[in-house]
Structure 1
Amino acid sequence: MIQKYQDDFMHEECWILSFAGGFQRAKVYQGEVSEAKRAQFREDLRTYVEKDILPAYQQKVSEEQHLKNIESVAAYAIQNFASILNNEKLNIGIAQKLLNPQLKYLWCRGKVITPPHFPVDRIIQEKLKMNPIINWTSMQTLAEYSQVIEHAKRVAAKMPDCCIDGEVSLALWELISFQRK
């Protein structure tokens, strides 16, 4: 009984953190959008991700499928909420910054298997020594996002502790590398 309340609490907290991380520094909404419309957008987007995206991560998801899932999050937002979104879209950088942290939290809680990627932001690009750093809030395409991922693969391949079942894990690399101090 207590475990259910603990799980529900952690589930809510992880979504709060995911939305804060994805939306806090990004100009997601057009001008004066009411809090009610923002809340409806977040609720519907969360429901979409929980029902249509996250169940796949109970099994290994290929990188190709993960990229499609990021695109799908952005497409869902555009199809259903373009009228409240800045420039009538949710860009790839923001979509990945919503999905990837949620996957990280679920993975760390033992709810999904290791995700293919990690949350891409300025801090992690600095750890990767990216040059130039790509502004994640402005990433429009999967190609921009993939530049960071490909660079991370080269860095992670040099760290022997970053393997799971004989494969380099970007999620594990980020977990090891990103420790709050």
Structure 2
Amino acid sequence: MSQQTKGRLLVATPPLADPNFDRAVVYVLEHHEDGAIGLVLNRPTDEALSEPLDRWIELQSVPSSVFAGGPVDTNAMIGIARTKDLLDESTELLTPISGLVASADLSADPAIAAAHIDAVRVFRGYAGWGAGQLESEIDEGAWLVLDSEIGDVFSDVPEQLWYDVLRRQPGRLSWLALAPDDLSLN
């Protein structure tokens, strides 16, 4: 594996040909020799939580909508939580990913989860890569691998996340935030 990406961000470089990932910011949940899984953080939808997941609405971070997590298995609903304390190991409700970010069992009772989490974000679908695929895309320059901050996963302005993440980078990397879709116009 060329880089450790679990708990980090994949930031699409402009222009990425796949419209699913154009100016996308992906939070990597898992990355090992068999492949990688992540969630697109900056694609909120107009979809609200419906039964039985509507029980989680009070814990949802702003914006309170379901996010398009990626093009794979769009029937899957995945919950990511901001925990109140660092988790050393998995519980029935939560599985630590990195820092205060954990995956949440959406079939659990949110009233019980509320004692352990500050916020939850729900994603429909996910981004997935087969063995060696993500490494190849990173080596080809399609993705920047950058450190994440807790505010990235739970940004209240997710549509600006791609720009915000790039702007805080040192040096010339921050210039990418201003790159036009058509690089020949630059």
TM-score bracket for this pair, using the shorter chain length: under 0.3
- The two structures have a TM-score, normalised by structure 2, of 0.26
Higher relative contact order (CA 8 A, sep 6+): 2
Q: Which has the higher helix share?
A: 1
TM-score normalised to structure 1 length:
0.27
